[in-house]
């Protein structure tokens, strides 16, 4: 029988007591208004519908639990959930100041804290509905500054960069990766010599592997070739606060503030509900590209309206309120409580990696740079390893351990498993995203369940 550490009381309703007190305080701020009849609500009908909703929502993977280690899904902190919910009683829209007065200021304050995390005292930035729109805005500005030039990113960069470039009418080309899943700087330089590259996307935390592109080398190339450098740190952006990174990743995060634009998603490692992305520009004068007239919108204040520096119009002010509240509880400080959460996630990944390296049933590609681990079952060919990975994935899910699958280049396994490269270009790997701080306490259990799943799928215990 497997022993389990105690699970967090994720559904503990005690926090609703604090929420009720805050809701009462919010209501007192509008106590001078005359009373009115709102939409009628039948309490019994309301409860019935909510119970139906709760029943439907049970048809989900347990994204909040440490045994969910598959995709990039991290539960929001209770303060974020409750602050978001509190804001819904006002339902502000952070487009124009008269639609979200308090929440617009809270957004500006929260985004300024994100910018300071990268060393920026001056910047232009705002929240978005997610990383896709944030990256779209960054490449849109890049396209205005480098019109009709090519955007390049690594083959392990997020697929949206190619799609966004197509939407913007910009040519896009992928650049090969090195054996560690990072953008190959030599391949990039060979492409730069041909000319016509206007924007290079550096990925800090690739979706499949968590790889961190060699930003110091890219900055040297920028000086030589004059391209615009955009950092897609949607997943990994917060990791600059962690003190436990390996030297290549540490070097990249130490110079992240020298990028021209940065995307980071608070709804990934920032403990926020979906959707909450952000885009930041080092040069605030790029606001000129957003300039537009809206005589019926921006009339209540001469202050900057967030809609004046955003391609999106209506945006949930509740997302800004939730992020602001979380940053009040967890300041973005190296060595602080928030940074410690990231370090625990990374420790979990290194722990799991070490166990897999000693397990003769598996081969690992490379050590995790952040908190994502990828590995494949040992087999005589890439096709057989892929079949085994899918079988283990299914057996693990039957035991409530939820992993992910990822098709990766066989060259990532190099001399460790040369039989993969000899038999195919890609291999289906098992992938674990250990992005919850609690994962550090659950590696024993995760590895034990993985072992059971591998035995059931392969018919062989660990040697």
What's 358's domain CATH number? Answer: 3.90.1150.10
Question: For residue 299, is it within any domain?
Answer: yes
Give 327-367 pLDDT, tens digit per residue.
999 999 999 999 999 999 999 999 999 999 999 999 999 99
What average pLDDT does the structure give for the chain? 94
Q: Does 134 reside within a domain?
A: yes
- Same structural domain for residues 166 and 293? yes
47 part of a folded domain: no
Residues 342, 325 within the same domain: no
CATH number at residue 302: 3.40.640.10
> Residue 386's CB: how many other CB atoms inside 10 A?
21
Among 263, 295, 329, the domain boundary falls at 329
In tens, the pLDDT along 217-238 reads 999 999 999 999 999 999 999 9
pLDDT digits (tens, 9 = 90+) for 350-361: 999 999 999 999
Q: Are strands 404-409 and 277-281 parallel, antiparallel or unpaired?
A: unpaired
Give a yes or no: residue 56 inside a domain.
no
Same domain? For 363 and 282 the reply is no
Region 15-36: mean pLDDT is 92
The two three-digit tokens of residue 402, written as one number: 């939820």
**Which single residue is written with the structure tokens 């890609």?**
426
Parallel/antiparallel/unpaired status of strands 277-281 and 197-203 = unpaired
Distance separating alpha carbons of residues 310 and 93, to the nearest angstrom: 13
Which tens digit of pLDDT belongs to each residue from 162-201?
A: 999 999 999 999 999 999 999 999 999 999 999 999 999 9
Which residues face 203 on adjacent strands?
A: 232
CA distances for 463 relative to 2, 251, 349, 356, 378, angstroms: 20, 38, 22, 12, 12
Range of the domain at 163: 101-329
Please check whether residues 187 and 292 belong to one and the same domain.
yes
Condensed to tens digits (0 to 9), the pLDDT of residues 65-122 reads 999 999 999 999 999 999 999 999 999 999 888 889 999 999 999 999 999 999 999 9
Overall domain count for the chain: 2
Least confident of 138-147, 148-157, 371-380, 411-420: 411-420
Q: Do 344 and 316 share a domain, yes or no?
A: no
Domain shared by 256 and 392, yes or no: no
Mean pLDDT of 29-56: 92
| Eight-class DSSP state of 7 | P
Q: Count Cα atoms within 13 angstroms, Cβ side, for 371.
A: 32
Is residue 35 situated within a structural domain?
no
Same domain? 344 vs 451: yes
16-25, 266-275, 368-377: least confidently modelled range: 16-25
Domain finish residue from 306, 329, 352: 329
Co-location of 263 and 170 in the same domain: yes
Q: Which residue has the tokens 């290549």?
A: 248
The residue count of the chain comes to 463
In a domain, 71, yes or no: no
Query: Which among 434, 367, 312, 442 is positioned nearest to 8, based on CA atoms?
Result: 442
Decide if pLDDT at 1 tops 80.
no
Q: Give yes or no: residues 366 and 269 share one domain.
A: no
The answer to whether residue 145 is domain-embedded is: yes
146 within some domain: yes
Of the residues 329, 360, 385, the one at which a domain ends: 329
pLDDT at 407 over 90: yes
Q: Say if residue 356 is in the same domain as residue 433.
A: yes
Q: Assess whether 188 and 245 both reside in one domain.
A: yes
Which pTM does this prediction carry? 0.94
313 plus 378 within the same structural domain: no
Give the Cβ contact number of residue 30 at 10 Å.
9
Stretch (H or E) spanning 164: helix 160-168
Which positions ≥6 away from 132 have C-beta within 8 Å?
A: 160, 164, 277
For residue range 245-295, list pLDDT tens digits in order: 999 999 999 999 999 999 999 999 999 999 999 999 999 999 999 986 655
């Amino acid at each position: 029988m497997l022993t389990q550490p105690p699970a967090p009381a994720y559904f503990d309703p005690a926090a609703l007591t604090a929420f009720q007190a805050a809701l009462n305080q919010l209501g007192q701020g509008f106590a001078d208004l005359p009373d009115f009849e709102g939409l009628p609500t039948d309490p019994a009908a309301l409860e019935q519908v909510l119970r139906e909703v709760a029943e439907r929502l049970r048809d989900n993977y347990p994204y909040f639990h440490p045994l969910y280690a598959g995709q990039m899904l991290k539960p929001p902190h209770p303060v974020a959930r409750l602050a978001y919910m509190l804001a819904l009683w006002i339902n502000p829209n952070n487009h124009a100041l008269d639609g979200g007065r308090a929440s617009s200021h809270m957004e500006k304050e929260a985004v300024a804290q994100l910018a300071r995390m990268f060393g920026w005292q001056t910047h232009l930035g705002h929240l978005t509905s997610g990383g896709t729109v944030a990256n779209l805005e960054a490449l849109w500005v890049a396209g205005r500054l480098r019109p009709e030039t090519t955007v390049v990113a690594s083959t392990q960069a997020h697929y949206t960069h190619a799609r966004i470039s197509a939407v913007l009418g910009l040519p896009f080309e992928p650049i090969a990766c090195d054996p560690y899943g990072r953008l190959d700087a030599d391949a990039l330089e060979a492409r730069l010599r041909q000319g016509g590259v206007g924007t290079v996307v550096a990925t800090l935390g690739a979706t499949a592997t968590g790889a961190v592109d060699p930003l110091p080398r890219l900055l040297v190339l920028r000086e030589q070739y004059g391209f615009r450098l955009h950092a897609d740190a949607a997943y990994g952006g917060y990791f600059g606060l962690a003190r436990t990174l390996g030297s290549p990743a540490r070097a990249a995060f130490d110079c992240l503030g020298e990028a021209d634009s940065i995307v980071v998603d608070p709804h990934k490692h920032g403990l926020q509900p979906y959707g909450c992305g952000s885009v930041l520009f080092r040069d605030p004068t790029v606001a000129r590209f957003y300039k537009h007239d809206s005589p019926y919108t921006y009339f209540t204040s001469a202050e900057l309206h967030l809609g004046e520096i955003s391609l999106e119009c209506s945006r949930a002010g509740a997302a800004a309120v939730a992020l602001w509240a979380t940053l009040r509880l967890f300041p973005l400080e190296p060595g602080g409580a928030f940074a410690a959460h990231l370090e625990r996630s990374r420790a979990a990944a290194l722990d799991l990696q070490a166990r897999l390296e000693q397990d003769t049933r598996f081969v690992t590609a490379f050590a995790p740079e952040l908190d994502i681990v990828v590995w494949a079952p040992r087999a005589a060919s890439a096709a057989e390893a892929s079949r085994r990975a899918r079988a283990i994935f299914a057996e693990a899910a039957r035991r409530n351990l939820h992993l992910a699958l990822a098709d990766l280049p066989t060259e990532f396994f190099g001399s460790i498993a040369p039989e993969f490269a000899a038999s195919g270009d890609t291999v289906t790997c098992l992938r674990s995203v250990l992005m919850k701080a609690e994962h550090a306490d659950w590696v024993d259990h995760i590895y034990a369940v993985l072992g059971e799943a591998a035995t059931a799928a392969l018919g062989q215990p660990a040697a």
